[in-house]
Amino acid sequence: MTSPIVKILLRSLVATLIFVVLYGIYMAIGRQPGIAGTLAVLAAFSFAANLMVERVFLSRPRA
């Protein structure tokens, strides 16, 4: 049994990784400059947003 916070962190991390990989492919195909820096910032904001959505909106107790 894992704690609910671990489940939230793992789901947020997986969603962030999927998004960053797909966006990285998009940027590589378009030959955009500064891919590494852009993806680092994007990953940080994406993880924070995913974590907030998971914690605030999706983990409400169901009555």
How far is the C-alpha of 37 from the C-alpha of 63, rounded, in Å? 44
d(CA 39, CA 43): 6
- pLDDT class of 1 with cuts at 50, 70, 90: low
3-17, pLDDT tens digit by residue? 777 887 888 888 889
Determine contact, residues 6/54, Cβ cutoff 8 Å. no
**Residue 62: what pLDDT?**
54
Using left for φ > 0, alpha for ψ between -120 and 50, and beta otherwise, residue 32 falls in beta
pLDDT tens per residue across span 19-52:
899 988 988 898 888 888 888 888 999 888 888 8
Enumerate the H helices of the chain as residue ranges: 4-29, 35-52
